[in-house]
Structure 1
Amino acid sequence: MVLEVLEKLRNVERLTVGAALLQLLSLAELGDVPFPTLKVQTLIVKTGYRPVIPG
């Protein structure tokens, strides 16, 4: 299901994804499941991690 949605979104200009989708894509890669190549100009990945800049 997720791969079908990504197939439909592969040519959008801007795509924002969350941590859950990133985990699903990682699992798909580990399971050797092919997923479509995204041709987006801007990819934003929102995670729950806060950036840590020392100093």
Structure 2
Amino acid sequence: METTIKELDRIYIGEEITYDKKSGLVYRIAIFKSVSISSYIFQLVNGEIIIIRRN
């Protein structure tokens, strides 16, 4: 089940989310989440940082 932009507000550290099903990407959120006016920033267990633009 794909996670929508609105649902990202309710995601907690450590939860697994699927975003952009077409790419088959599954992210495990690790240690950091930041929400700004323009984007969500997640840092994952492997150190990868994902920035998702808000609409």
TM-score (norm 1): 0.28
Q: Based on CA coordinates, which of the two structures has the bigger radius of gyration?
A: 1
* Structure in which a larger fraction of residues adopt strand: 2
TM-score (norm 2): 0.28
